[in-house]
Each structure stands twice: as structure tokens, then as C-alpha cells.
Structure 1
Amino acid sequence: LLGSGGLGTTCLDEWQIGILGVSAGFTIFLSGGGKYSLDYLLLPKLSKNKWLVWLTSGELPLSIKQFSKVAISGAVLLFILTLYTNQVFHNGIWGPLHNKSVKPELKISNAKIQEDILTFKVYRIEGADVYGSFLIGITLKDENGKTILQKNGEELARFPLTRIKNDYVAKVAPGKHSLIIPLGSKATLTIRSDVFMDLPKSDYELILTDISGITWKEKITVN
């Protein structure tokens, strides 16, 4: 439940499955799996340790009063977890509803220009896990809005793999008509161009454009 939510793609039905799994797990912890569980077959063969009772199915070493307190405390914690995760993932308790799996979200960091090289790190943090972000534009503009560098979709489709350094298993890679950025991928991109050589000291703006029209921007200062 919490792991999938951290990626930002958890939709409502998956959240319901996660909540049900946690609740069912706590219920089985209290009641035990019964004679049809694997624990029932293995327990007679295992050594009798006090801690083993808390990890397997079976009667807990608690009085009725203690058992009631554990059950009520667990139910309250699960209730809080249910409300908290529903609010974080969907704004289901307060505020406008949202779904983070609808559109991609990129994070740009470590953007810098040195000599004839522009480097920056791009990280896909939101959006559908079965559908990539298709980058069709990388643009660099000066503080007056003048375009210094422009890479379109066809150019990004031929982006050299040697200039993409991926950090994770999900990889940023050129596609047929764009640069594809899957969910959870993180990579450092390197662009070489002579236009960077004589740039005056100033602030510049790096703009990434998705095929959907969404743009992400990052400031670069050349000293």
C-alpha cells in the first residue's frame, strides 16, 4: 500500500486492495489461520519460542482484556491509515479529488552549462506506470526569451545512448518519434553544442516539452 503510493500511480481500486490486505492481515494475526493454514502444519515441528507465537497463526498469549485492547488499538490505527492514505493519494477526505496516474510529472535537477556541454538530470516522479512521458522538445532560452538551443522530437528520437546515463532499471531511451521517459526512471542527459561556448554570464531557462503539451522548466545560471 505505502510502497505503490510512493510512486504516485496508485489508483482507487489498487488503494482498496491495499487497505483490504492490511486489514485482513491484522484480522488473521488476531484470529489465526486455523487448521487449513500452513502454520497449523508446521507449528508442531517448530521449537516452542515465545516470539514465535507472534509471527505465526495461533492463540496469542494474552488475556481477554489485553486481547480487546490490542484489537481496538489495531482497529483505530487501521482507521487512521485508511483516512490518511486516501487523503494523500486522492484527496478523498478534503479538497478537490486528484489522480496522479493521469499525466506525467518530471523533475529537473543539477542543470548546468560548462564549456560546450549542457547536462541535467531528469526524474519521472508521477504518471501512469504503463505509459511513458514522450519528450518532443528540449529548449534553452536566455533571460530575454531568445532561443539558444532547440531539439525537436525527431532529433530526440536519435539522441545518442552514450549521452544518457541511467540510474535505475527503468531507462530513459530514444523512441520512434521522441525521447521516452518511463515512470520511476532517472537519468543524466548530456548535450554538446558550440552555442554554449560563448554564452554571456546570465540566467537561462531550460524547458522540457511533453507530447501532451505539458512543459517543465529549470533555471540555469552561467557565471
Structure 2
Amino acid sequence: MTTRIAIFASGSGSNFQAITEACRNGLLEATPALLVCDRPGAYVVERATAADIPYFAFAPKSYQTKEEFEGHILQELARYEVDFIVLAGYMRLIGPTLLNAFKGRIVNIHPSLLPAFPGLDAVGQALEYGVKLTGVTIHFVDEGMDTGPIIAQQAIEICPDDTREMLEKKIHEVEHSFYPQTLQQLFSVKGEAAIR
């Protein structure tokens, strides 16, 4: 049985696309069971529709609390029998409701070599700081902002003439292959552990 994943995204969904294509091509042995999106008008919803993947798009402001909307998300995850949560440009901190229900089963991708440049605009932070190397980090999610245990990292050189757009393009190219590969390794290890 393949791992049933929910992909959480807030924007255009290029990593969502890369992950779902890897599943379809057999490079990632997982089933994209659900998209969860906190911006109903985001382009990622169109990608999910085109790929015939169910989605739950919600407006956080229509709920009283984070607990309430995360409780609703949990109902959707149960409905689609989701095993694992994959964050792919989801711009919200995960709260205790989801963390407790999916302990050790939520991963995120971040465009820096954590612990350097956590939080928003990691690319801008790296350029402003003037570092020669940045990269991509895949990590488990905990209560903090980009503070969970690191699963894998890949370095990316920042060239002197790199503009923000050029660096973002380099990072996206790495993310789109590195994330599915890392998830495949993670799921196969978890599968072996379950068999033992």
C-alpha cells in the first residue's frame, strides 16, 4: 500500500505539481489524496482540479480560531484516509491540533540551508546577507518556525551576478526533483520499519 499524502499549499503550487507528477510517473510511491489550501483563489487549486485531485480550500478568517479550522482540516484528512502531510509552500505555522494528530508525519521544504534564514523571504535574506551558498532544506515540522529535525539538505551556489529571480529559479529547479526524491526515501524507510 502506498502512502496517502495530503499536500498543503498557499500559492501557485509548483512543488505540488512536481510531487503529483512524480507520483504519476512512479518516481514517488505515494498517492496524492488531497490538496489543502488556505487561499481559495490560489492557482494551486486549479492544478489540483486539472489533476483530478480532491481539494479542501478554506478561508482562515471565516473561523473563530486556528483550532477550529485545523479541526476541520483533520476531518478532511480522515475522510481521505491521509497518512502523511507534505507542506509545499503553505504559509501558515502548523498548530497543536494537527501536530498532535500527525506527530512525526508532517514535513516541510524551505529555501535555505536551515538553521540559516528561517521564516519568510529566505531568498531575500540570503541575498541581503551576502552569503555565497544557500540551498534547500527538507525537515520535519514542530511547533517552531522552520525548527524541526532536518531530513535532507542540498546546497546551491549564489553567483555574484545572480538576481533574485535567477536565484529563485535555481532553488525551484532543485526543489522540484529533491523533494519527491527525499519523500520517496522517507516513505520507503518508514515502510521497511513497519514491515519489521
**TM-score normalised by the shorter chain: which range applies?**
under 0.3
Q: TM-score, normalised by structure 1?
A: 0.24
| Richer in helix (by share) | 2
| Richer in strand (by share) | 1
Higher relative contact order (Cα pairs below 8 Å, separated by 6+ residues): 2
